[in-house]
Chain A
Amino acid sequence: MNETETTSRNTERVVGVFVVLALLLLLAGFAYYLYHTAERKGWRVPRCPYHTFVQSADGLEVGDPVRMMGFDIGELTVIEAQPPSSYYHVFIGIEIKRPYYGYIWTDSKIKVTSSGFLGKRQLEITKGETGGPTVFEKNNRISEILIDGNPVALAEAPKGPFLPPDESPSVTERAERLLNQAEAALPNILAVTNRINAVLDNSAALTSNANELVSEVRPAVSNVTTRLDTTLVAADTNLVVLAGNLNDTLLNLAEITSNLNSQVQSNDQMLSSISRLVVDTDNLVQGLKKHWLLRGVFQKMNATNTPPAKADGK
């Protein structure tokens, strides 16, 4: 094998890897896409059919998702018009994936709510609260479903259990109804507008009158203000004089109080002098009592003098 052939073989090998790797990448992408789509659409999980009736199929399409608690739990499979004599107008068939059909009980309802602004509507099932389950499983397969309160095999009731509808009209229908109401209410609104106009006219006239009144009252108010001003100035002057007099009086009173204080202090000295005089006099008398000349006199006075009477008479 020469060098050229070896190079050629190497080139072919690298080119082969290049092509095969690209193909593998594409196939891997496609395989992941298939896997994810199968997961999303629930191709590998069992499904249980349910049905309901609505008044209008407006905004509904086969393949639309059915939602519960914010999850896509299945899809709409059948939309059929009912016979003319039927109370409901449209038959709706849906399929719910495991495990979500376990949340659908006998008290669950299908709410048909508006979705988006383009007249689209969606089916939303409410979770069961007080009823009983509608699907029974055995060996990981749906064995029976509840039809009119009785469990029957799934093959015997291909439409599945009935769920009562709770239908709300689409946004366009609601908008149309709103417009009709607005049109009907328009005359009343116009009448109200006219009344408001009249009220506004009256308010304008009232404001004008009030303006005139104010301009008339303004001189009188000005006079009263001037008089009040004068009176206040006079009162202010009198008050100043009164305050001066009161100040003088208070000063005199303070002087009187001061004199009285000095008088009281003098009296206090006089009383202490008198007290000392009494003590000295008593000392004198005691001295006299001990003097030989007068001792006898004092003894007689003590004998003749009767003791003072006691309170209890003893």
Chain B
Amino acid sequence: MESVGERALRSPAGLRARLRFATTALAAAVSVPRSLRAEVRAQTAEQLWRCGVRQLPVVALLGLALGLLVVGQAVALLRQVSAQHYMGTVMVTVIMRELGPLLTAFLLAARAGTATVVELGALRMTGRVDRTEKVGVRAMRELVVPRLKALAVSTFCLTIYLIFIALATGYVVAFLQGVPLRPGAYCGQLADALHWLDFTLVGLKAALFGAVVAVVSCYHGLERLLRIEEFSQAATRAVVESLACCLVLDAVFLTGYLVR
């Protein structure tokens, strides 16, 4: 009970600290001095390589599994009620609007977020980031901004790859299950179920999820000087907080969809 009470008392301050960190990071991201741009760009490319390109095989695997499971189950259910023509709607609603961005963000939180926490924590522990003070603007620009940009762009790109792979796998699964659906008709169903806002919202959602994962991971890596035994706890906390923030953000987007 005491720990619950202590956490409840501490949570507003923690929330304020996180928000302050996020706003500082965003401000630093939009105001990078000319002298630092080349370095930030190189760092961003490096992070994009690690958080984006190298995660592509896992995302492809996830997309295959998603298409296989969602369509496999959906087709089996829809065929029972002779409603195969709703397959496109199911795919768009489940994969494009919801699971695509969310699963990509979860994956990056687990793979890139934890790596970021450990990396930044190690940098601070070894003294390459100021050990005594709060994180300075320079460190923010050199360490946080590249990761923020890279994770936002990576999540955006990987979400698109995941959606395309899942949709393609979905068609193959439907074809193998004997659903009389031509590729053109399938694409037509998808297009019928889509709205122009979907393209904007999916991209925006994915980029925001990536930014949230980046900010939360960087915050937990740089928040304070970590001891060796605290690294795993910090990484776990970063993943859980990232997932929670993504879910809250997803609920906000869902409200947007429903209001539309």
Chain A positions within 8 Å of B, measured between CB atoms, are 8, 11-12, 14-15, 18-19, 21-23, 25-26, 29-30, 32-33, 36-37, 40
> Does A12 contact B156, Cβ atoms closer than 8 Å?
no
Whether A19 touches B192, Cβ cut-off 8 Å, given contacts A11-B45, A25-B164, A32-B187, is no
For residue A29, which residue of chain B has the nearest CB?
B199
Distance of B16 from chain A, by nearest CB (Å): 35
> Does B42 contact A18, Cβ atoms closer than 8 Å?
no
Distance of A12 from chain B, by nearest CB (Å): 5
Chain A residues with CB under 8 A of B161:
22, 25
**How many B residues touch the partner, as a band?**
20 to 34
Query: CA A40 – CA B158 in complex, angstroms?
Result: 30
Query: CA A205 – CA B137 in complex, angstroms?
Result: 104
Judged by a CB distance under 8 angstroms, whether B56 is at the interface is: yes
Query: CA A30 – CA B202 in complex, angstroms?
Result: 12
Chain B residues with CB under 8 A of A30:
196, 199
Chain A interface, >50% SS class: helix
Chain A residues with CB under 8 A of B164:
25, 29
**Of A12, A22, A29, A40, which contacts B45 at CB under 8 A?**
A12
Judged by a CB distance under 8 angstroms, whether B135 is at the interface is: no
> Does A15 contact B160, Cβ atoms closer than 8 Å?
no
Chain A residues with CB under 8 A of B56:
18
**A-binding segment of B23-31, B46-54, B111-119, B121-129:** B46-54
Q: Which of B145-190 contact A (CB under 8 A)?
A: 153, 156-158, 160-161, 164, 187-188
Chain B residues with CB under 8 A of A33:
191, 194, 196, 199
A-B contact count (CB 8 A): 54
Query: CA A12 – CA B196 in complex, angstroms?
Result: 32
Query: CA A18 – CA B47 in complex, angstroms?
Result: 13
Judged by a CB distance under 8 angstroms, whether B203 is at the interface is: yes
- A sample of 10 more A-B contacts (CB under 8 A), given A15-B48, A30-B199, is A8-B42, A11-B49, A18-B48, A19-B52, A22-B156, A22-B157, A23-B157, A25-B161, A26-B199, A33-B196
For residue B52, which residue of chain A has the nearest CB?
A18
> Does A40 contact B192, Cβ atoms closer than 8 Å?
yes
Chain B residues with CB under 8 A of A11:
45-46, 49
What mask results when residues 52 to 66 of chain B are scored 1 for a CB within 8 Å of chain A, else 0?
Answer: 110010000000000
> Does B42 contact A15, Cβ atoms closer than 8 Å?
no
For residue B189, which residue of chain A has the nearest CB?
A36
Distance of B91 from chain A, by nearest CB (Å): 13
> Does B160 contact A26, Cβ atoms closer than 8 Å?
yes
Query: CA A21 – CA B60 in complex, angstroms?
Result: 15
> Does B187 contact A19, Cβ atoms closer than 8 Å?
no
For residue A15, which residue of chain B has the nearest CB?
B48
**Of B45, B160, B196, which contacts A8 at CB under 8 A?**
B45
Query: CA A32 – CA B158 in complex, angstroms?
Result: 20
Distance of B158 from chain A, by nearest CB (Å): 8
For residue B157, which residue of chain A has the nearest CB?
A22
Query: CA A11 – CA B42 in complex, angstroms?
Result: 9
Chain A residues with CB under 8 A of B191:
32-33, 36-37, 40
> Does B199 contact A15, Cβ atoms closer than 8 Å?
no
Chain A residues with CB under 8 A of B48:
15, 18-19
> Does A22 contact B187, Cβ atoms closer than 8 Å?
no
Query: CA A67 – CA B42 in complex, angstroms?
Result: 58
Chain B residues with CB under 8 A of A21:
157
Chain A residues with CB under 8 A of B192:
36, 40
Distance of A18 from chain B, by nearest CB (Å): 5
**Of A12, A26, A36, which contacts B203 at CB under 8 A?**
A26
